[in-house]
Structure 1
Amino acid sequence: MKYILLILAIFFTSMNTFSQNEKKFIREGNKLYEQKKFNDAEVNYRKSLQKDSNYFKGRYNLANALYKQKNYDEASRLYSTLVDKEKDGKIKSNVYHNLGNSYLQKKEFEKSIDAYKQSLKYNPKDYDTKYNLSYAMQMLKQQQQQQKNKDNKDNKDKKDDKNKQDQNKDKQQENKENQDKKQQEQQKQKQVKKEDAERMLEALKNDEKKTMDKVKKEKAIGVKAKIEKDW
């Protein structure tokens, strides 16, 4: 819970030393910000920037309002444009801290760590930044371990898929060989049957021929010549 309080507690400074017209919008924006009406605060901060879109203080407060609305992409973009435009070490530390928080919310832990380290260069004793830096380092380690586990699982799945494909390929080859063998046996059986049929037919022909010859012979033997006796 402490961490949640920390990462949500970005550094906010009521920077309102503008010209009179712009100062009005910044003051109103700060008032709305304190009331947690961050969308309305954003509107006023944007109005304050219509005269000078690069004005540091207006952009900084706008980035804070965007962060509070969980628009971390635009908030981090704005913070990034501000880190090199301010000479005051305390404010520079705050910008880097808030930038680190934005990256942390987006789970871009390496960038978050870098931002916190930069913040500590300008304010080495800031406890919140030290705490968030430690947390970001732990989360990066966890993220890297999860990625490693995922990579290992993906590699295992790929290996299992390859083994399965190889097994299927071997099975298909085996089935093909069995099918070919079966077809060859069937062809051989057909050939044997054909040859058997031809032999049987030939045998029948031979038997028929022998039978006919025998019949003819028996008929020949059975015919007796009629002899006239001389009485």
Structure 2
Amino acid sequence: MKKIVYIAFLLATFIGFSQEENPKEKVKLLKESTNLTYDANKELVSDKFVEAEANYRKAIAKSDDNSTAKFNLGNAYYKENSFGEAFVRYKEAGEAAKTKEERHSAYHNLGNVFMQNKEYDKAIEAYKEALRNDPSDEETRYNLALAKEMQKKDQQQKQNDQNNDDQNKDQDNQDQQQDQQQNKDDQNNQDQNQDQNDQQDQNKDQNSDKDKEQKGDEGKDKEDKDQKPGDQPKDKQDPEKQQQPRPNQLSPQQIKNILEAMSNEEKKVQEKINGKKVKGQPAKNAKDW
């Protein structure tokens, strides 16, 4: 069993070694990869993205050394705004590049991807790497200056946003404190007004009670003045007794009437007496001589 495993390992190692060391096979595969890249380029120019993408992938699968297929596939993705896929292919193209020109182009376009994503720090580093491989490229130099300017503006904007956030927070805190103070003042004013109203109501009640007491005292004094000495106070008299005279007690008018009646009666009696006297006197008869 161990011998079979060992033999299989040797065969696999030999096959891999023979493929790596077989220059003719690599040349053949690279040629086929180049032809597929050529077809993909024509399809990409004809706006046949799907066909171009398929052929670029086949070309890369045929030969990993075909940096052109990787670079062009990155361009195809960039054109379609698929910046994530473009980043992967440009990075692969830069790592597989055999010349400074290829490496320069890969990192230049890699910087463009970072610019699209507003990753200005990474764009600056990518453009610098591109210029290391071709310092004479003015377009890369311009893009580097633009990336630095955008980085500066972005930092200023972030700082301004941070300052605005801080100011807004401070303003919010200040507004909140003012609102709390205003609410507190309103509550205090409301309490003071309520206290004043309560005090006014209490004063009104006290004044009303004083007025009632004063009016009661004035009425009592008046009643006391109207009463004769020895009379029972009016507020203590029985209402029924006030309406009816007491038994065996005559009013002045009744006494007057009685006296007049008695006087009239006495006159009548006197007249009767006088009348009887006249009638009762013996008549003087003439002497019968």
TM-score w.r.t. length of structure 2: 0.61
Question: Which of 211, 219, 222 is residue 208 of structure 1 equivalent to?
Answer: 219
1:43 aligns with 2:54: yes
1:167 aligns with 2:167: no
Partner of 2:75: 64
CA RMSD between the two structures: 3.0
Change in CA separation of 1:195 and 1:81 when aligned onto 2, cut-off 3 Å: farther
Partner of 1:146: 157
State percent identity of aligned pairs: 33
Q: Secondary structure at the match of 2:136?
A: coil
Structure 2: stretches of 5+ with no match in the other structure: 1-26, 232-251, 253-289
**CA deviation string 1:134-169 (max 9, x = no partner):** 111112112222222333333333333333222222
1:57 shift after superposition: 4.3
| Mapped partners of 2:215, 2:119: distance in 1 | 94
**CA deviation string 1:17-57 (max 9, x = no partner):** 84565444322111123445545422332344466789754
Write the mapping of 1:36-185 to structure 2, written as runs, cut at 5 A: 37-38=48-49, 40-49=51-60, 56-185=67-196
1:193 aligns with 2:166: no
TM-score w.r.t. length of structure 1: 0.74
Contact 2:33 2:63 in 1 (8 A): no
Contact 2:30 2:63 in 1 (8 A): no
Moved more, 163-172 or 19-28: 19-28
| Count of matched residue positions in the alignment of Structure 1 and Structure 2 | 206
**CA deviation string 1:105-137 (max 9, x = no partner):** 222211100101111222222222112111111
Change in CA separation of 1:44 and 1:196 when aligned onto 2, cut-off 3 Å: same
Higher normalized contact order (CA 8 Å, seq sep 6+, divided by chain length): 1
| Mapped partners of 2:150, 2:49: distance in 1 | 28
Partner of 1:9: none
| Mapped partners of 1:50, 1:215: distance in 2 | 136
Change in CA separation of 1:163 and 1:219 when aligned onto 2, cut-off 3 Å: same
Change in CA separation of 1:193 and 1:76 when aligned onto 2, cut-off 3 Å: same
Change in CA separation of 1:76 and 1:218 when aligned onto 2, cut-off 3 Å: farther
| Mapped partners of 2:82, 2:170: distance in 1 | 41
Amino acid at match of 2:81: K
Amino acid at match of 1:174: D
| Mapped partners of 1:213, 1:54: distance in 2 | 136
1:84 shift after superposition: 3.6
Change in CA separation of 1:183 and 1:21 when aligned onto 2, cut-off 3 Å: same
1:82 shift after superposition: 4.4
Amino acid at match of 1:147: K
| Mapped partners of 2:210, 2:181: distance in 1 | 42
Change in CA separation of 1:206 and 1:199 when aligned onto 2, cut-off 3 Å: same
Change in CA separation of 1:87 and 1:48 when aligned onto 2, cut-off 3 Å: closer
Amino acid at match of 1:144: Q
Q: Which has the larger radius of gyration?
A: 2
